Amino acid sequence: MNQLADLIRRYDRPGPRYTGYPMPPAWSDDFPEPEVLAALDRANARPDEALSLYLHIPFCPRRCAYCGCNVVVSPQYDPVEAYLAAVTKELDLVCSHLKDRRKALQLHWGGGTPTYLNAADLKRTFQLFKDRFEFLPGAEIAIEVDPTFLEPDQLPALRAMGFNRVSFGVQDLDENVQALITRGQTWDHTLTAMRQCRDLGFEGVNLDLVYGLPGQTMDTFKRTLESTLELSPDRMAIYGFAYLPSIMPFQRSIPAETLPTPELRLDLLLMASDILEKAGYVAIGMDHFAHPNDPMAKAVQEGRLIRNFMGYAVSAGSDLLGFGPSAISNVAGVYSQNEKILAKWERDITDGHLAVHKGHRLSEDDELRRWVIHHLMGHFELRWEDLNSRFGVDGPVLFADAVTQLQEEVPQGTVDVRPEGIFITQLGRRFVRNLVQPFDAYLAKLSAKTPFSRTV
């Protein structure tokens, strides 16, 4: 435990999550729409390859003080109709360039609070996708759910549509912490939602917790962890709270003096890791854990884990289509992100244009480095012969600086550099976000001006 604590202290610095590469801060703010349309046309030329789909539903009935997501706080339901009309048109705009490619292996709805939509509109929205895409057998169809605002008919409606995985935000079960983050989620909210999911036969139920929240203590967070384990979630994510009031002014409502000290924050993470691993969960990177029978734990063991803008996945399409405000797409070598402001996104879509906010066309070097970073994050090893076979390059020569950095700067026990490649140890997997940074050609230029979240 002391070695782990020392490593966490060393590695606890701002850095990208590497759901993609390069990450959005390196993208162009004036990326042309024709580049995105051309990418869709190139993607259409591969009709047999499956797609991943993402929909951002931005609405929330209230603002949680800790949240860093792109949300629209709307106590009134009125904005939903215009939003769904724009989603319909955006789907049609994209699909007009994908006439021959409509198979999907992954669909994820995030937010915001996707279950802000009532059961009828959830069905209506899903039908928009079902009418345009063919979901392949075994496709993961997932949604994020806030148990605080969940009507009895919503989960049954989602299960009947074909949703098979649910992620519940819990954050913390302590009443004082819940009050400080203005969430108000009770144990009964969480327990009722979990039981309903199990009764309905969802294949996977995930829980998200956050450490470093205001008011947290070792005792209160231990009770939260032990209580959530009673629910036997299939996967758990333990995220570190990113307190950035300079760019998220609503976080100023959190009294700074209520935040855990850096030492307590570290202890909270160490305790969470210890409790979950003793309970049998498999650690996946720094902040994800999976039940040993979950497909993600098996994918880790078999070297099949995938990394994309939706995080870790067991299977995913070769291209990702993102819909809704702020959604990100990754298509045929082009990244693009939609306009974040709901009204601007709707206006662009209504005018017949994709609402491109920023984007980036990957160079050959970008493609190479992305493969290396994601391969290390998913397989936890990089064999030079695989790199040469795929890209025709001499890895030890091309990445000599990165190899030297790993050999000289990385503490012993996290990575093993051998003549045949780079191998991240079991201990090192917890710090994989840090260990791939030497391969990032953009990081040095971005770090000084980009408020990345801390890796721990």
pLDDT in tens, 427-446: 888 788 889 999 999 998 87
Q: Quick: pLDDT tens for 184-233.
A: 899 999 999 999 999 999 999 999 999 999 999 999 999 999 999 999 99
Average pLDDT over residues 283-301: 86
Q: Quick: pLDDT tens for 334-384.
A: 999 999 999 999 999 999 999 999 999 999 999 999 999 999 988 889 999
Give the number of other CB atoms < 10 A from CB of residue 392.
7
**Per-residue pLDDT for 279 more than 80?**
yes
Average pLDDT over residues 244-268: 88
Give the pair of three-digit tokens for residue 400. 């000599």
pLDDT of residue 268: 92
pTM here is 0.93
Average pLDDT over residues 117-134: 98
Q: Quick: pLDDT tens for 159-196.
A: 999 999 999 999 999 999 999 999 989 999 999 999 99
Residue 71 to residue 74: CA distance in whole angstroms: 9
Residue 343 to residue 283: CA distance in whole angstroms: 40
Question: Bridge-partner residues for 51, per DSSP?
Answer: 104, 319
